Chain A
């Protein structure tokens, strides 16, 4: 499937580059609808790889790249369920999204996340599966999960740990504060900082350069330098599901969902 237009995302192949666009209002929150379409993409990826050398993920929304998991769906979905069923549902969701993330992470293509605005939680985790992150100067990166009594669940910690020093991982994870694009570049998270609104253009320029290289060599180099931490990723799912049973989580989700605070995104 060379082209797809869904409710939450679309993709097409242009000049040997797959462009996957996220466009679910308000800020590409990842719930079951987005997950189902991401799974479609992951299933199509093998055939798309044969005609492409790069993949770009981006958002068409002004609000940002992705605000993370759909917490409203998570909260309301768990209401009325007994604890065991709720945890089973969460585990199923996490295992499915990890499969998608792992498929993109392991793709022989060179992958680029072109991000702007809010790149929080699951949104940062989606960007982290890519080989390069190109950010516009208004991008912000954050793992706010601890304020909900949780840890990132879409593979964020193992992948951040793979890419950055442990002190930076602890700063992002344990303080829940957000980094702007310049700080994120200084930390080694972001490859390039583009002007406001120019991250996709910069990513396309990078993707065009990648097309000049021998594909097999590029994929061998990637495989050599970018191991996928499967054991830690599985451990992360276990820890997340264990934490999900805490009363603090329901209270945190409730507070977020029902918040009239003008700053619900700020931890």
Chain B
């Protein structure tokens, strides 16, 4: 069966691309294990903004509580992958 579901690596890449573009950080400076609050220099409201953009981009719902304590791109990608 052919699935349209993106591979985990593709999901991670798309998150990194979206975060770099939205928060104007060079893409090459972002790595999967970065603390995105620190690397992107974002606060809680901007984190909500990122959450909303990710939901729209991947067409998923991400309950806030699933992201509580999540601060690196790799874990974020795994949470999104679990909803695809």
Binding site for B on A (CB under 8 A): 27, 63-64, 117-118, 137-138, 140, 142, 175-178, 180, 182-183, 261-267
Contact A178 B71 (CB under 8 A): no
Pairs of residues from A and B, 5 with the lowest C-beta to C-beta distance, nearest first = A177-B63, A266-B64, A262-B37, A265-B44, A177-B64
Docked Cα-Cα span, A175 to B47, in Å, equals 19
Residues of B with C-beta under 8 A to A64: 45
Contact of B45 among A118, A142, A177, A183 (CB under 8 A): A118
Which one, B7-15, B24-32, B48-56, is touching chain A?
B48-56
Contact B55 A262 (CB under 8 A): no
Residue of B nearest to A182 (CB): B56
Contact of A267 among B45, B47, B64 (CB under 8 A): B64
Given A264-B44, A265-B44, also A175-B71 (CB < 8 A)? no
Given A177-B63, A180-B55, A266-B65, also A27-B45 (CB < 8 A)? yes
Residues of B with C-beta under 8 A to A137: 52, 56
Q: Does B61 contact A (CB under 8 A)?
A: yes
B16 to chain A, nearest CB (A): 19
Q: Does B68 contact A (CB under 8 A)?
A: yes
Contact of B44 among A175, A180, A183, A262 (CB under 8 A): A262
Q: Does B84 contact A (CB under 8 A)?
A: no
Residue of B nearest to A137 (CB): B56
A59 to chain B, nearest CB (A): 13
Contact A117 B49 (CB under 8 A): yes
Secondary structure of the A contact surface, majority rule: loop
Docked Cα-Cα span, A137 to B64, in Å, equals 17
Residues of A with C-beta under 8 A to B55: 180
A248 to chain B, nearest CB (A): 18
Q: Give 11 pairs: A residue, B residue, CB < 8 Å, sorted on A.
A: A64-B45, A117-B48, A118-B45, A138-B53, A140-B48, A177-B65, A262-B37, A263-B44, A265-B44, A265-B45, A266-B48
Q: Does B21 contact A (CB under 8 A)?
A: no
Given A63-B45, A175-B63, A177-B63, also A266-B56 (CB < 8 A)? no
B14 to chain A, nearest CB (A): 18
B61 to chain A, nearest CB (A): 6
Given A138-B52, A182-B56, also A262-B47 (CB < 8 A)? yes
A177 to chain B, nearest CB (A): 4
B17 to chain A, nearest CB (A): 18
Residues of B with C-beta under 8 A to A261: 44
Residue of B nearest to A177 (CB): B63
Given A180-B52, A180-B56, A182-B56, also A262-B64 (CB < 8 A)? no
Docked Cα-Cα span, A176 to B45, in Å, equals 16
Contact A138 B49 (CB under 8 A): yes
Contact A266 B61 (CB under 8 A): no
Contact A262 B71 (CB under 8 A): yes
> Knowing that A261-B44, A262-B43, A265-B45 are A-B contacts, what are 16 other residue pairs whose CB atoms are under 8 Å apart, sorted by A's residue number?
A117-B48, A138-B49, A175-B63, A177-B64, A177-B65, A178-B64, A180-B52, A180-B56, A262-B44, A262-B47, A262-B71, A263-B67, A265-B48, A266-B44, A266-B47, A266-B48
Residues of B with C-beta under 8 A to A117: 45, 48-49
1/0 per residue, CB under 8 A from A, across B46-84: the answer is 011101110110000101110110010000000000000
